[in-house]
Amino acid sequence: MRRGALILGGAGMVAAVGFMLAVGAWRSGDLPWQQQVTETVGTRGADLESMSWQLTSHEGERVSPQSWIGQTSLVFFGFTWCPDVCPMTLLNISDWLEELGPDADGLAVHLVSVDPERDTPEVLADYLSNFDPRISGLTGSPDEVAQAADDFNATYRRVPRDDGDYTVDHTAGVMVFGPDGRLSSMIDLHDDPKFAVPKIRRAMEREV
């Protein structure tokens, strides 16, 4: 992880190079959630306090990572043109919120768009109105989204289609941050649903 952090930490990298390095990190199993997450205190992508991104919510509010400290936050990357994996993630999260019941009141859920070109705050608001109202959407300029992905150690890649349109490959899974601002766990798309809510509860119990 340390070597990866050093390499990836270099400022001002062009997005393509950043992406390739990130893929390398994924492949080598270097990322925090591929290791024992509890031991990643202070590492990259694992601490909101050390992140510097700024994004705009679907309600037009500017949001920064520090504003999430003090509450448990679920974060995932996706886009509203995504027909299969993203609706599935949104539905999974809606189920967890339902199972948590009133306990979910202290929980913030954020979809970070990897498609800022199409996902404006208005488009996000329109799309998210079909899901649990506690799920908020975040977007920004392409640079702002790139910064956020970099901070979270997430990857995304625009893939052109034959008809001139495009789709976006992206990090799947939901990151769970505790009120202390630290990454507590990852919930993968195909994880057994019965482990998801306990993972969220464990994050909620972390001291600020």
Partner 1 sequence: MLKSTAAALVLAAILPATALAECVEVTQGNVTVSAAWSRATIGTDRPAVFYVTIRNNGSEERLMGIETPVADMPMLHESVVENGAARMSHVDQIVIAPIDAVSLEPGGYHGMLMDLQTELVEGTTFPVTLLFEKSGPVTIDTAVLPLRAREAACEEAL
Interface with partner 1 (CB under 8 A): 23, 26-27, 31, 33-34, 80-81, 83-85, 87-88, 90-91, 94, 126-127, 130-131, 155, 159, 161, 163, 165, 167, 169-173, 186, 188-190
Q: Would strands 174-177 and 183-187 be described as parallel, antiparallel, or unpaired?
A: antiparallel
Instruction: State the nearest-atom distance from the C-beta of 163 to partner 1, in Å.
Output: 6
- Least distance in angstroms from the C-beta of 205 to partner 1: 25
Closest CA to 76 of 200, 208, 160: 200
Going from the C-alpha of 137 to that of each of 84, 131, 134, 157, the distances in angstroms are 18, 11, 10, 19
CB 149 within 8 A of CB 26: no
Euclidean distance between CA atoms 44 and 42, whole angstroms: 7
CA end-to-end span of the chain: 25
Q: How far is the CB of 97 from partner 1 (least distance, A)?
A: 13
Shortest Cβ distance from residue 162 to partner 1 (Å)? 8
User: Among residues 29 and 101, whose Cβ is nearest to partner 1?
Assistant: 29
